Amino acid sequence: MKVLVPVKRVVDHNVKIRVKSDGSGVDVANVKMSMNPFDEISVEEALRLKEAGVASEVIVVSIGPAKVEDVLRTALAMGADRAILVETEDKTEPLAVAKILKGVAEAERPGLIIAGKQAIDDDSNQTGQMLSALLGWPQATFASKLEIAEGAAIVTREVDGGLQVIGVTLPAVVTTDLRLNSPRYASLPNIMKAKKKPLERKTPADFGVDTTPRLKVLKTEEPEVRKAGIKVKSVAELVEKLKTHAGLI
């Protein structure tokens, strides 16, 4: 069975972003970009399935400008077999991404799609769910454990107040949570080898997808800055402040 893993190139999670002064968006020029952390977990899980003999091939796919090739090469260096780059300069919303991925899935016919639970830039947490809806497949979101057995996946999910286990028939879409695994690092020889692995280029039009955004961003602004606080000198002063000044305890 093939496993398809969508990956996204995002502003590195350690970067403190800045909002453009004209309110048109976030300044992402000249900031460090990397693979969305949840997607690294997805790639890792797919590779483990391959190493366990469950998956035959791991295909990574990314949608965006030509530069997203970086993150596809990173995934190839981790061990993915080949990559698909769907090139577009448009900003793609989760609905459009899901439609493009549906096209890729119909062409590749994977037995499983493993996506991250959310991208740390738009924080949407939607694409996997929308993709499974469009394909008519079951979904298992926020996975912290994944087992494949005879045409089904048994998935432990992180839900409010605990852990839920569900079974889904394959093919299915699984979205990964932080606790699923610890992604491996790509070694230098593998980074070199990854440069020669196949990378196919497509466009949204190849899948007949219109990427026009449904949400128009009217403005982007900095959140209100918190008023500077004070450092108290002792526990007694802290408790006193909370009691009298803030009236909280």
State the minimum distance, in angstroms, from the CB of residue 163 to another protein.
5
Report yes or no: 104 and 84 within 8 Å, Cβ to Cβ.
Answer: yes
Rounded Cα distance between 76 and 194, Å, is 5
Rounded Cα distance between 79 and 114, Å, is 15
Report yes or no: 165 and 154 within 8 Å, Cβ to Cβ.
Answer: yes
The one-character DSSP state at 233 is S
State the minimum distance, in angstroms, from the CB of residue 73 to another protein.
25
Rounded Cα distance between 172 and 123, Å, is 23
State the minimum distance, in angstroms, from the CB of residue 83 to another protein.
25
Q: What is the largest CA-CA distance in the chain?
A: 68
Nearer to another protein, 11 or 49 (CB): 11
Beta bridge partners of 153: 148, 168
Nearer to another protein, 188 or 236 (CB): 236
Nearer to another protein, 188 or 248 (CB): 248
State the minimum distance, in angstroms, from the CB of residue 65 to another protein.
19
State the minimum distance, in angstroms, from the CB of residue 244 to another protein.
10
State the minimum distance, in angstroms, from the CB of residue 142 to another protein.
7
Nearer to another protein, 74 or 132 (CB): 132
Place of tokens 């602004």: 221
**Which is nearest to 45 in space by CA: 69, 10, 71, 75?**
75
Nearer to another protein, 58 or 146 (CB): 146
Nearer to another protein, 109 or 195 (CB): 109
Sign of the dihedral through C-alpha 98, 104, 110, 116? negative
State the minimum distance, in angstroms, from the CB of residue 45 to another protein.
17
Nearer to another protein, 54 or 120 (CB): 120
**101 to 131, 173, 188, 205, 242: CA distances (angstroms):** 7, 11, 30, 12, 52
- Residue 5 has φ and ψ, to the nearest 5°, of -125, 110
